[in-house]
C-alpha cells in the first residue's frame, strides 16, 4: 500500500469545504471530479470560476481547471476515492439532518469498486461514518463493508473533519493538523494517504467516532467561550459597566484570555455543531446547551436595545453595518446580523433601515419580506442615519470610526470602533 494517494478522486459537494479540498488535491496532481447537485456550482467550476468569495481560491480553481486536473459534474463518476463534503444542518429538534450525507452515500454506492476509499468530511454526530458504511452496504450487498468488523472490507470508510476558518481556508487546509478516524485501523491508514498529498500539518490517526466527536467538541469549546463573553456583556450592561474595559483588564492576567462579545454567533458550524452533542447526551450536556441559549439570545438583546434607542427620535433612520456572519467574508449563513436586522425591521415597520455590507450586494432572502429596508453605501448610511449599529467589523468599516457622529447614537456591538 502506497503512503500517498495517486488515483482518481471525486469530491461530492462543491461548497466552502468541498471546492477548496478538490482544488488543493487537483493542484497537487490528483485527477479530481467535483460533483454537485446545484447546476450553477457545476457550471461555475467548469468555467474555472468560484461561486463564492474565499481568498486565493479563484486563482487556484482557474489554474486547476485550465490544467485539466479539476472537472465538475452533476453525477458521481467512478473513482478510487470519494470525499463527501455536503451540508449537515440540524432538524427543528436540533438533531442532525443527515439526509444530504445519506443522499451522497447513495449516489456513490453504485460506482464503488473493491479497493475504493470513502471519506466523510461533513461535520457529523458520532456514529455517522458507520451509517455511511451501512447505507452503502444496503445498496451494495456484493461488497464487504467495514462496519461488519468480522469481514475483510472491500471499501475503506473514514471520517476526516474539516476545521478551516472561512477567509483563511486555502492556508489552513494545508497547515492545520488533520484527524483521520477510520471504521478500522486499515480504513484510517488508507484515508490518510489522501491527506498526505497536501497536508503539512500532522495527520492524527484515530477511530471514526472519536474523530466525529473531537470536531463537535472543538466548536462547542468556541461556543462556550463566546457565551462567557456574551454573558459578561449582559451582566456589565445591567451593572452599568463597560464590558470591553472589564475584559481588557481581566485579560492582563497571565492565564486569562476572554473572547470578545458580539451580536451573536453565526456561520455554518459553531451555532449548529454543539447541538449534535446536546442531542447525543441531553441530560449531560448542560453547559453546552446553556451556552447555545445565551448566544442565541444575543441578537434579540441587540435588537431590543436598538428599538429602545429609537424611541428617543420622532422618525429615526437606522443604519445597520454588516450582514455576514463574520468579518471580511461573504458568508451570510446563520448570520446574527441578519437576525438582528429582521427583528428591528419587524419591531419598527415605519422606520427606514439602511443596510450596508461590501460583501452583500442585495437584500438577503431572509429579509426580503420587509419593505422598510434599503441597501446603501456605508458612508452614506452613516451620514443619513440617526442610529448606527455596527454588526460586523469588516475592514472596510474601519475608516468610519473617524467619522464625527454629532448627535447620532452609535451602537458598536463588536467593540471595533473603540
Ligand X SMILES: NC(=O)c1ccc[n+]([C@@H]2O[C@H](COP(=O)([O-])OP(=O)(O)OC[C@H]3O[C@@H](n4cnc5c(N)ncnc54)[C@H](O)[C@@H]3O)[C@@H](O)[C@H]2O)c1
Q: Which residues bind ligand X (CB under 6 A)?
A: 12-18, 35-38, 41, 85-88, 100, 103-104, 107, 121-123, 162-164, 166, 268-269
What is d(CA 261, CA 273) in angstroms, rounded to the nearest whole number? 20
Least distance to ligand X, CB of residue 229, Å: 21
Least distance to ligand X, CB of residue 162, Å: 4
Grid cell at residue 159: 471520517
| Catalytic choice (269, 298, 320, 326) | 269
Q: Is 215 a catalytic residue?
A: yes
Nearer to ligand X, 41 or 381 (CB): 41
Nearer to ligand X, 108 or 306 (CB): 108
The total number of residues written for the chain in this structure: 418
What is d(CA 220, CA 126) in angstroms, rounded to the nearest whole number? 14
Grid cell at residue 25: 488535491
Least distance to ligand X, CB of residue 21, Å: 9
**Beta carbons within 10 angstroms of residue 361's beta carbon:** 8
| Residue closest to ligand X, measured at CB | 15
Distances (CA, A) of 154 to 76, 142, 147, 206: 19, 10, 11, 20
Nearer to ligand X, 103 or 236 (CB): 103
Determine contact, residues 146/117, Cβ cutoff 8 Å.
Answer: no
What is d(CA 58, CA 55) in angstroms, rounded to the nearest whole number? 7
Distances (CA, A) of 404 to 309, 409, 415: 19, 11, 17
Determine contact, residues 226/326, Cβ cutoff 8 Å.
Answer: no
**Beta carbons within 10 angstroms of residue 111's beta carbon:** 15
Least distance to ligand X, CB of residue 247, Å: 26
Nearer to ligand X, 83 or 341 (CB): 83
Nearer to ligand X, 161 or 415 (CB): 161
| Catalytic choice (215, 298, 320, 326) | 215
What is d(CA 282, CA 290) in angstroms, rounded to the nearest whole number? 12
Nearer to ligand X, 86 or 351 (CB): 86
Q: Is 269 a catalytic residue?
A: yes
Nearer to ligand X, 4 or 171 (CB): 171
**Beta carbons within 10 angstroms of residue 338's beta carbon:** 28
Least distance to ligand X, CB of residue 228, Å: 22
Distances (CA, A) of 260 to 90, 168, 263: 26, 20, 10
Nearer to ligand X, 121 or 393 (CB): 121
Least distance to ligand X, CB of residue 309, Å: 33
DSSP 320-370: EE--SSSTT----TT-HHHHHHHHHHHH-TTSEEEEE-TT--S--GGGTT-
Least distance to ligand X, CB of residue 172, Å: 10
Residue 32's SS3 state is: strand
Buried b (16+ CB within 10 A) or exposed e, 230-253: bbbbeebeeeeeebbebbeeeeee
Residue pointed to by grid coordinates 428617543: 312
Cα–Cα nearest to 169, from 194, 209, 198, 210? 198
What is d(CA 110, CA 47) in angstroms, rounded to the nearest whole number? 28
Least distance to ligand X, CB of residue 366, Å: 16
| Catalytically annotated residues | 215, 269
Amino acid at each position: 500500500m502506497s503512503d500517498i494517494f495517486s488515483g482518481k478522486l471525486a469530491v461530492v459537494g462543491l461548497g466552502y469545504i468541498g471546492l477548496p479540498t478538490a482544488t488543493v488535491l487537483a493542484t497537487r496532481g490528483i485527477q479530481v471530479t467535483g460533483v454537485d447537485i446545484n447546476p450553477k456550482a457545476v457550471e461555475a467550476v467548469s468555467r474555472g470560476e468560484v461561486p463564492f468569495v474565499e481568498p486565493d481560491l479563484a486563482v487556484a480553481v482557474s489554474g486547476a481547471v485550465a490544467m485539466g486536473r479539476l472537472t465538475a459534474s452533476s453525477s458521481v463518476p467512478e473513482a478510487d476515492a470519494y470525499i463527501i463534503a455536503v451540508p449537515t444542518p440540524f432538524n427543528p429538534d436540533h438533531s442532525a439532518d443527515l439526509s444530504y450525507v445519506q443522499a451522497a452515500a447513495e449516489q456513490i454506492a453504485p460506482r464503488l469498486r473493491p479497493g475504493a476509499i470513502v471519506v466523510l468530511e461533513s461535520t457529523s454526530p458520532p456514529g455517522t461514518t458507520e451509517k455511511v458504511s451501512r447505507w452503502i452496504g444496503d445498496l451494495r450487498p456484493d461488497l464487504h463493508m467495514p462496519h461488519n468488523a468480522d469481514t475483510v472490507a472491500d471499501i475503506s470508510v473514514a471520517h476526516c473533519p474539516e476545521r478551516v476558518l472561512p477567509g483563511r481556508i486555502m492556508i489552513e487546509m494545508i497547515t492545520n493538523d488533520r484527524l483521520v478516524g477510520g471504521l478500522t485501523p486499515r480504513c484510517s491508514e488508507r484515508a490518510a494517504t489522501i491527506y498526505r498529498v497536501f497536508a503539512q500539518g500532522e495527520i492524527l490517526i484515530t477511530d471514526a467516532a472519536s474523530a466525529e466527536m473531537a470536531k463537535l467538541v472543538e466548536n462547542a469549546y468556541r461556543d462556550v467561550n463566546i457565551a462567557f463573553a456574551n454573558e459578561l456583556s449582559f451582566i456589565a450592561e445591567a451593572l452599568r459597566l463597560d464590558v470591553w474595559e472589564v475584559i481588557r483588564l481581566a485579560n492582563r492576567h497571565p492565564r486569562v484570555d476572554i473572547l470578545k462579545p458580539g451580536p451573536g454567533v453565526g456561520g455554518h458550524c459553531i451555532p449548529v455543531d454543539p447541538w449534535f452533542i446536546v442531542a447525543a447526551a441531553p441530560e449531560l450536556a448542560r453547559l453546552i446547551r446553556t451556552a447555545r441559549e445565551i448566544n442565541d439570545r444575543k441578537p434579540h438583546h441587540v435588537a431590543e436595545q436598538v428599538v429602545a434607542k429609537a424611541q428617543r427620535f420622532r422618525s429615526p433612520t437606522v443604519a445597520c453595518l454588516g450582514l455576514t456572519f463574520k468579518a471580511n467574508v461573504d458568508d451570510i449563513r446563520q448570520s446574527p446580523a441578519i437576525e438582528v436586522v429582521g427583528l428591528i425591521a419587524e419591531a419598527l415597520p415605519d422606520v427606514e433601515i439602511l443596510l450596508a455590507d461590501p460583501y452583500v450586494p442585495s437584500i438577503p432572502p431572509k429579509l426580503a419580506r420587509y419593505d422598510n429596508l434599503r441597501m446603501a453605501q456605508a458612508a452614506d448610511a452613516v451620514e443619513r442615519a440617526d442610529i448606527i449599529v455596527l454588526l460586523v467589523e469588516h475592514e472596510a468599516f474601519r475608516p468610519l470610526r473617524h467619522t464625527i457622529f454629532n448627535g447620532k447614537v452609535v451602537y458598536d456591538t463588536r467593540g471595533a470602533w473603540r
